[in-house]
Chain A
Amino acid sequence: MKAHRNAPLFLVPMMLCACQYQHYQSDFGGAAVEDRQFLTLFWIFLGVCAFVYVLVVGFLIGGIVRQSRASEAKVVETGRHHESHPLMRSTFIGWATLIGAGLVGLAIASFFADRSMAEAARNAKLSVKVTGNQWWWDITYNSSDPSKTLRTANELHLPVGIPTHIQLQSNDVIHSFWVPSLAGKQDLIPGRDNDITIVPSRAGIFRGPCAEFCGLQHANMSLVVVVESYPDFIKWWDHQLQPAPQPTTSLALAGYHYVTTGPCSACHNIGGTPASGQAAPDLTHIASRKSLAAGMMPMNEGNLYGWVEDPQSLKPGSHMPTIGLEPDQLHGVVAYLETLK
């Protein structure tokens, strides 16, 4: 039938785009143990399902082609419409057995995949808390040494090969933590504690969109995940623990004064400065991050200008207000933020 001629036509461009994009955000990424197990199970399911599909369509085509030759069909016109070929009954039993066996097989495969994911997730070495907010991610790295506890936002760093336990909570509505290239999703639900453990298996930069509709800017709530070697990860952590550098230029200094005493400080925290708000992303090392406004745009001077000047036109409904900065204030603020490497 037509579908068979169509299906390969669709598949070609699709497979091309699947391979093209280095799995920045893709189930085909296979960048963690979890996603690789997902992929193995997925191909098993796809194989079994494709086999069943071929059988169904084969039977269908058979029925269509065959009838043109049959002169003694068991139809009302021949008066034999209540008859039925004895073999059909056996075929039916065979079909039922096949479906049953196939499903049992798939269920067992699914069960073992689930078990082995749980197995890989045991003995987590690192603990991170991710809290969902409309529409950004609050991230805290826990450590037995309180001075090493680190708060950051919207960019998660994970070490290769180390099982990382991620606690998931929400401050407002339900969100869902999902980095397709690494693992399946897990919801962040207010009043509940969820968790997921990920064992990244290769370095890279990945993107994780919020996967549960969470309101107006659901589409612009994503997370950048940087998977790096353990030494790089530790280096990053130590750097992030540093307080914000002192501004050196006069422009940045003006920005510093505005940010740390003005309205920004009511919501944002900048380590080592008077700005200590907790309601919004931590800015201590914002310029070291790869993206701005929860994965919405790349971190660069132009985007910083745009975002600080008028967040409401870029991300309507966001909890960051458009203040209406004077041009010189804006220059200062951006200059200061750029120093927060």
Chain B
Amino acid sequence: MKVLTELPIRLDPLIDRVRAPDRGGIAIFLGLVRDHHQGKQVLGLDYSAYGEMAEAETAKIIAEAEGGGQRARVVVQHRVGSLTIGDTAVAVVAAAAHRGEAFEACRYVIEELKKRVPVWKKEFFVDGTVEWVDPTASEQTLRRSDARDV
């Protein structure tokens, strides 16, 4: 199954892909489009991706989480294209024999995805401005705004 999709993410088919008689727990993370970013009101955003690499890198992350055994099974979908507030941008569904492993696999995949998978978002703000989100710049921006507040 492809990770990137232009269609709304539906959860039930993802759950069905990891469901199995020997897996007693499923952990789900959904990332939604938030209405604010660094104090500014967001209208919506455009996601874009480096498709071939995003698919390959996500497959690698899932394999790491699954540990090559029957320990866990994980599926991921990530939207590309234009999204509005409240839309599901990413879904990680992890099944394992017990809840601990399911939560652990789910957490691992979303954290690594955010660090490694080549997907970008361009935010459209209510005030008419448009910005590419740069997580490496946000710390500096935060520090600057903290400094202003002091």
Asked if A and B bind, the verdict is no
